[in-house]
Every structure is written in C-alpha cells, then in structure tokens.
Amino acid sequence: MRHEHTLARLAIYGLLFLFAALFLMPFYVVIVTSLKTLPELRQGNMLALPEGLTFAAWAKAWGTACTGAACEGLRPFFMNSVMIVIPSVLISSGLGAINGYALSQWRFPGSEVIFTMLLFGFFIPFQAILLPAAQFLGFVGLANTIPGLIIIQTVYGIAFCTMLFRNYYVAIPGELVKAARVDGAGFFLIFRRIFLPLTLPIFMVCVIWQFTHIWNDFLFGVVFSGPDSRPITVGLNNLVNTSEGVKEYNVDTAAALITALPTLLVYIVGGRYFLRGLTAGAVKG
C-alpha cells in the first residue's frame, strides 16, 4: 500500500513537472534568443543554448548600443512609463483606500448607490471612454502629455481600488470605529490609527494589480500620448515593427524581456501579500 502511494505521488509530481516545463518553454526560448547573435539564430535551433553569453541585443534594445535618430531604444519610453505608473498607482490606491473606508464604515444615505455606480464604472470598456477622455484632456490642455495619462489611468483605476478596499474593510469589526468615535476620534484619525496598520495585504494587491495594468496598457498609451510621452508598450511596438533590413529577433526578445521585468519584480517582492489580500474580507467574521 505504501509502495503504491509513493508511485502515485511520483506520477503526480512528474505530471506537474511536465506541465511546468511546457508552460515555461516559451519563456526559456525568449531568454536564450535574446542572448544569441544573428548567425546563431540563422542555424534554426531555438532550444539550443547560446554559444557564448552576449548582451549586445539587450544593449541595443535599451538604446546604449544604438546609433541614429531612428534607433533610440526603449530607454526614454521606460522612463515615461515609470513617471506614469508611480503617481497613478499611489493616487488611485490612496483614494481607493479612503473611498473603501468611507463606504464600509461610515454608511450614509446613498452610499450603496455610489458604490454601485463605482462598480458600473469599473466595468465600462476602455473603448467607450476614449472620445470623451480625449475631449477632456484637450479642454484642460493636457493632451499628449504624461500628466494627462496619469489622470486617465488614475481615474480609471479608482473604481477597482475602491471595490477592493471596501470589501476588505467590511470585515473589520464596526465596534472599533464606534469605540474610537466615542473617544472623540474623527474620520481621518480613525483611518490612520486603526485601518492603515491593517491595510498592507490589500494595499499590495491593489498596487500589483494597478501596476500590472498600467505598465502593460497599450490602448491608453497609444491614444493619449505624444512623441515625448509614449509609454514602454508603445515603444516596444515601434521597435518590433520597425526594422531596417534584417529582422533582429534577438533584439525584439530582449526588448520584450526589458518591458516585462518591472512587473515580474513587483510580483516577486509583493507576491506573498497578493493571495492573502485577495482572500481577506471574503468572509466577514
């Protein structure tokens, strides 16, 4: 019986290893392709390891080994994305936390209607707001600018952040708020002293979700950006689809990896809070 149990576990682990290998195979191919030279790529063996480590494709994709006005690499687009993502994530998460706190612990007439309207705003597709958003940015003089993109990404993310924080704060006993109010604490003092110390798991969920969404966004970036404010997804698209002569697949894969690295690092740093924050508040206790 014990022998059969061991064989069953080995079979399960072997199957899981096979599925993991199949899942990671494209990632492996992208990495080794980015480390190869063009003569190696012409040999046609995608799975073969590079003959020697060379980061020339990475340097060209980034822009340090590029010459000419048409070959600037991803560096300026990367910095644009950083300037867009950081304030957008922090502002939308902060406003979502305050909104969720107010809607969960400070009920008032119409609070449920407001929350329903916020949820409705979250499910509005991107394409439906492109024209009114473009008109608004033009009216306030922020069209094709980084501040304009920050406003668009922040406003679109507030609804989702509010939903996350509201569902999380609902599980916190209301007696804590009542006791603090009896002691004379106000709205922001209660939020700062009671709720903020408990917010880290759901805050990391919100940050990871917003960071991933904003960093990987292409539609808003290509519609609302100008020549000096394009995010990295637009830069990646331009680099991959602009080729002079021979197609350099090693440069394209290196550029794709550079684009993906920030989101990967965010998941590595804050991933342990992600599942904890998602499941917290699922059951009110």
Query: CA 187: distance to chain centroid?
Result: 31
Alpha helices (H) in 111-231, listed in sequence order: 111-122, 130-140, 146-169, 174-182, 187-190, 200-216, 219-224
Residue 54 inside a domain? The answer is no
Residue 264 inside a domain? The answer is yes
Task: Chunk the chain into consecutive blocks of 10 residues (it has 285) and report each block's average pLDDT, rounded to whole numbers.
Answer: 74 90 89 86 79 85 60 84 94 92 83 82 81 90 92 90 88 82 83 86 88 92 89 89 75 91 86 66 46
Pick from 202, 195, 209, 204: which is nearest to 156 by CA? 209
Residue 19 inside a domain? The answer is no
- d(C-alpha 66, C-alpha 43), whole Å: 25
Between 232-241 and 249-279, two packed helices, what is the crossing angle to 10 degrees?
Answer: 150
| Long-range pairs of 231-234 with CB within 8 A, sequence gap ≥ 24 | 231/77, 231/80, 231/81, 231/84, 231/149, 232/74, 232/77, 232/78, 232/80, 232/81, 232/259, 233/81, 233/259, 234/77
Residue 90 inside a domain? The answer is yes
Residue 205 inside a domain? The answer is yes
Residue 21 inside a domain? The answer is no
| Both tokens assigned to 113 | 């209607």
Per-residue pLDDT at 84: 95
Q: Which domain holds residue 121?
A: 75-279
Residue 231 inside a domain? The answer is yes
- d(C-alpha 220, C-alpha 116), whole Å: 25
- d(C-alpha 182, C-alpha 141), whole Å: 47
- d(C-alpha 155, C-alpha 37), whole Å: 44
Pick from 226, 228, 250: which is nearest to 239 by CA? 250
Furthest CA-CA distance within the chain: 76
Give me the number of domains the chain comprises: 1
- CATH number at 128 reads 1.10.3720.10
Per-residue pLDDT at 190: 86
